[in-house]
Structure 1
Amino acid sequence: MKLAGIFTAIIILPLFITITVQSSPYTPPHFIKSTTNHSNTTTQHFFELTHPLPTDTTPPSCSVSLLNHSFANTYNKPPVTVIHSPEPNSTCHWSVAVLEFRAECKGEQYDRIAGVWIDGVEVLRTSTAQPNENGIFWIVRKDVTRYASLILKPNFTVTVMLENLVNDEFTGVYHVNVSLLFYAKPDTLPLSSIVPEDLQARKLNRLNRLNRKLISVKHDEIGDELGQNRGFRSLKSLYPYDKPADLIVPVSVSGGFKEGFWFRIEDEHDVKMKNVEISNKAYKAVLELYVSFHGNDEFWYMNPSDLYMESNNLTTGRGHGAYREVLVTIDGKLVGSVVPFPVIFTGGINPLFWEPVVSIGAFNLPSYDIDFTPFLGLLLDNKSHSIGIRVADGISFWLVDANLHLWLDDSNVQAWIVKSNVPSMEIEREDEFVRLDGEFKIKGERNSEVTGMVHSSKGNMQIRFTETMKFKNKIKFKEEGSKKIVDQRYKRKTKIKITNESDQLIESLEVKVKYPIKISTDTKPGLDANTSLMTTKVEQERSERFNGGKDYMELRHKQNCTGLMVVKGHSVLSGSAENQQSYNYNDDSGCYSRMVDVVDGAVVGDNTSSICVD
């Protein structure tokens, strides 16, 4: 039985005079760009648009180089793991921790997925850029203060997985450095005054700083403060991470040191489970979910129905429709879900789009929070419970894992569920096609409501969670399937309201997200034998708004890409591309906006402003 809910279909079956196996009109839109005629003659800096961290203009109090490794032939091999042990008598007082992931590569190589874990807890999901013969580099900096309970340990393991393959054709080796930067306190400068540094100067500054002798850290006093939850605040965090959790439990592969910590999900029936036993002192719990999609599901939002594949005798495995949803269960009971943001990796659609500015989320894939606090009544009984993760309608393959963040009281906590209604998504489908041309529509909706009670030393708290999700996807195939148009829209509205026994408001959060994406590709025969001319277009937006009373955060990141390329197989021989991106970030400390225009791999416009955009 499918997890899709309601199913309706309108189908006009194709007419065949003879039945033959056709080559697929739906060529997977994943390519590798040629390095032979690249115009850049120096090492090029790739980057993802994001807002600067307040610490970017402040030297760290101390820094620790956790891992230096060159990832060459690492496919089907264990991840790289090191043990961090602070040097004796070394001390570093800090309130903010930043993970810095630096990478460089030269040659020809596909894009690769990578993950960073601390003691089996994922702290970064990232992907690589496609290099050129002159070399590229990039830097990802992420505030990881929310993982303070792990970093404060006297010893912890750091694991990095990046499966790469090097041979005569694919020569690129990814050289990676992972460091932790510690800051005594965040910079108080407004966002508008923190502007990007000169790219080459920034590279030299980072190399000089990180190549000096790095001290280890010992966190005695800050550890006491964290345990008491006194005055500890990240750079910019709303509920649920306004204070770092006291304990983080990995929901990942137990033998991750051998095969990697992420679960690999192969189809819609594949359920990955991890048994956990929750402390009876937990008064708040949040599951942080990491997700990426690969193989036949890398472009799941572009997949037509299986009936279309079967009716046209197509050999590709990229079908099963365009609805995907990551479902999370406790002991088999559905408690939350995520329709993930459609991150496009640097080989996707048209790789010429993504140099040197990569797609939204490509270097720092978003994680997703599911509030477990209303469900603590299922967990606080001194028994082991199974947390399950599956992908509705998924096909091979997805990489998923999760971190269970727990906030602990000084004494035992009692919890119970007052109301729980988390239904499956109600899905409607329409397929209408003749031979290779047609239209495929999917829409879904879910309304969830959960109320739970938690009794701790803080008193009786009622947590009310409500969520509305709406999903629409429309795919059109024209001109014998050579022209494809995808229009997908997803929006979610989540409200969390916490009140005391007198019905007085303690905390509240409203989250609104919108992830629209439009893609069109048009493929025609090329001038040379066995080549094609592809015209491509991508319009995409990541819109997120968090409102927590006095605190708020709003992000609107848009990209508009147009281009064409000459391809042979999956290799891009030549082409032209434009990438326009606008990034607008607002919070209660100010506004930051940046607009970047790229033409044929060269940045022709880069403007930063402190003006708030409505």
Structure 2
Amino acid sequence: MNAVNLLLILPLFFTITLPHSVNSVKQNSSNETIPQHFFEVTLPLPTDNITPSCSVNLLNHTFTNTTNSSSVTVNYTTPLDKCHWSVAVLDFKVKYNGEQDTSNGIAGVWINGVELLRTTTAQPSENGSFWNIRKDVSKYSSIITHHNLTLSVVLQNLMKHDVNGVYNVSVSFLFYSDVKFPLSLHSGESGSHSLNRKLMSFENDIKNYIKNCENEDKLGFDRVIKSTYPYDTPADLIIPLSEASDDGFWFKIHDESEIRTKNVRICPKTYKAVLELYVSFHGDDEFWYMNPPDSYIKSNDLPFTNGKGSYREVLVTIDGKLAGTVIPFPVIYSGGINPLFWKPVVSIGAFDIPSYDIDLTSYLGLLLDNRNHSIGFQVADGGSFWLVDANMHLWIDDTNVQAIVEYEPPSMEIEHDYEFEGLDGTFETEVERSMSSIRMIQSSKGILKTKVTEEIKFKNKLKFKDDGTRKELEQKIKTKTKVKTTDTKGHSVGEIVIEKTYPLKITIASGSRVNTTVVQGRSVSFSDEVASISRVLNHDLNCTGWIMAKGNSGFAENHQSYSYDDGEGGCYSRTVDVVKGDVIADETTSNCVK
């Protein structure tokens, strides 16, 4: 969504008119002469400067008329029958040419309905643009080691009018051997895996999986036990919880009353289950954290549909019972708030939209009956529209698993404090949610007792000032998860703590020009006392700028700092400073600063 569409949802829209073309909005800098290279500041892969052991180009396609584009599918083939590897990387390249008056594109990559990547498009540039996303996909090894599969790619512009931009997309897999891969706090996958696997048939593997629910045969998958969570080793099987359509495999959820479901049968030999949830928000809910309550819209007789307040939560249910929740990280797409901010460095998570892990092992006592169960997805207070799907990662034992679980249904406290007069007002929302379970899982590894607790805190304060021409947001999302596991003798096997903090501040003020600021952060820490593991990631963003209410000029600064410490002497940090679309500083170091 560009600045025009963002301001359509704000009271300040009554006093300003923005240009209809983001392309016409230029910063006060020299003209471009070459295609613009866009990038996201993130932790580089250890494979970036290594020649892959083998690779395969899966797709080369030109997406045109992206407003109404359908998914593109190809047969999936790999060289893995002759390739030894430990790390697999998805390489997603895009080159853009042509003009369009907005940038609001969403893209996804799936194999047989299992989502591997969700991403957004960059801003159009006068002389074209290009970007390259590389993502470690080793945790999907139980899928990518098969043949006779279908790879699907979708790239759509979510605006309702036609555009004439052309996206040339290339998708490849790169395979590397003998690479020690650090824990990615972004998605939760663990270190290096010994995965020298032969090609398999996905359909045959599903049949074997069902067969193994009835006898003592063993699935032929390698296992490497790591003291990390929740992906201590790639899952033995991944089941897609998605919906096949011409528009992609995601469920499109339009409001809070809509529940999308998928039936799944869990083998009685499953000793661990993790649901990986992919979420993105669009349309009236693209800026859900800045939406006023319906009472404000109704009282001021505003022609807006983006209300419902500023709290959203994705709910996951099992047979209609709440099993897990996610408050998503507020990713700002490349046309959001002020499109000049995101050229050439995009916002946090814009090129690799984060997925969220919900550990369903505590619910195996309900699932291990060899029957179909309904997994449901719903967006609390959601507006139109959200794109949601999930992958069910399953770890299979040699024999049937016995699960005894004591769990408390998730509890929630929510408080709203709304005060407004006319177009000015203050809207505060605070939410606290907690979940707790104790489970005993008996498998070939013995009996393990695990206690899991999770706490979620959400605070959002939204202010409208100066007859609604100034909007101020201050928000913070905090989660803390504890996992403590003991054996039959009471000895601690693992004591894991994961903490995440997502602060966000936004200011938008109108006049002859629209002044904008964005201050955002993502902090994630992971620790395991038993394994003496401690890892910390911090990513901060600070943007200031303006865009003319009428005309084609503007200004923006984007300052980002990124740091990662693996707790074992390995560190990485990067600072990037952008002024008027030019990268004036880009410094990287591997020194640990204490």
Q: Secondary structure at the match of 1:56?
A: coil
Aligned positions, number? 551
- CA distance 1:587–1:287, shift in 2 (3 Å): same
Cα distance in 1 for residues equivalent to 2:454 and 2:176: 37
TM-score computed with the length of structure 1 as normaliser: 0.85
Residue 231 of structure 2: aligned partner: 241
**2:380 aligned with 1:398:** no
| Aligned 8 A contact 1:72 1:165 in 2 | no
| Aligned 8 A contact 1:86 1:155 in 2 | no
Q: Structure 2 matches for 1:20-59, cutoff 5 A?
A: 25=11, 27=13, 33-35=22-24, 39-59=31-51
Residue 458 of structure 2: aligned partner: 471
Residue 121 of structure 2: aligned partner: 128
- CA distance 1:516–1:510, shift in 2 (3 Å): same
Cα distance in 1 for residues equivalent to 2:504 and 2:381: 20
What is the letter of the counterpart of residue 259 of structure 2? V
Q: Structure 2 matches for 1:207-606, cutoff 5 A?
A: 219-220=197-198, 227-231=220-224, 238-253=228-243, 255-256=244-245, 258-423=246-411, 425-524=412-511, 526=512, 533-549=513-529, 550-568=532-550, 573-589=552-568, 590-606=570-586
Cα distance in 2 for residues equivalent to 1:188 and 1:285: 23
Q: CA deviation at 1:132?
A: 1.2
Cα distance in 2 for residues equivalent to 1:583 and 1:54: 17
Q: CA RMSD in A?
A: 2.8
Q: Secondary structure at the match of 2:553?
A: strand
| Aligned 8 A contact 1:507 1:548 in 2 | yes
Cα distance in 1 for residues equivalent to 2:9 and 2:577: 37
Residue 187 of structure 2: aligned partner: none
TM-superposition CA deviations, 1:162-184 (whole Å, max 9, x none): 11389998332111111100001
TM-score computed with the length of structure 2 as normaliser: 0.88
TM-superposition CA deviations, 1:250-303 (whole Å, max 9, x none): 1111x34x3311011111111111110001110011011111000000000001
**2:177 aligned with 1:184:** yes
Residue 9 of structure 1: aligned partner: none
Q: CA deviation at 1:451?
A: 1.3
Cα distance in 2 for residues equivalent to 1:24 and 1:168: 22
Q: Secondary structure at the match of 2:586?
A: strand
Cα distance in 2 for residues equivalent to 1:23 and 1:446: 29
Cα distance in 2 for residues equivalent to 1:470 and 1:31: 39
- CA distance 1:311–1:30, shift in 2 (3 Å): farther
TM-superposition CA deviations, 1:546-579 (whole Å, max 9, x none): 11332332111000000001145xxx72100000
Q: CA deviation at 1:523?
A: 0.6
What is the letter of the counterpart of residue 584 of structure 1? S
Cα distance in 1 for residues equivalent to 2:176 and 2:126: 37
| Aligned 8 A contact 1:84 1:157 in 2 | yes
Cα distance in 1 for residues equivalent to 2:221 and 2:167: 42
Cα distance in 2 for residues equivalent to 1:579 and 1:464: 43
Cα distance in 2 for residues equivalent to 1:166 and 1:397: 12
Q: Secondary structure at the match of 1:516?
A: strand
What is the letter of the counterpart of residue 11 of structure 2? P
Residue 209 of structure 1: aligned partner: none
| Aligned 8 A contact 2:362 2:407 in 1 | no
Unaligned residue ranges in structure 2 (runs of 5+): 1-7, 185-194, 206-217
**Mean alpha-carbon deviation: is it higher for 414-423 or for 57-66?**
414-423
What is the letter of the counterpart of residue 58 of structure 2? L
Residue 172 of structure 1: aligned partner: 165
Cα distance in 1 for residues equivalent to 2:370 and 2:183: 47
Instruction: Give the % identical residues.
Output: 53
Cα distance in 2 for residues equivalent to 1:268 and 1:358: 30
| Aligned 8 A contact 2:341 2:545 in 1 | yes
| Aligned 8 A contact 1:436 1:481 in 2 | yes
- CA distance 1:187–1:379, shift in 2 (3 Å): closer
- CA distance 1:548–1:26, shift in 2 (3 Å): farther
Residue 95 of structure 2: aligned partner: 104
- CA distance 1:54–1:31, shift in 2 (3 Å): farther
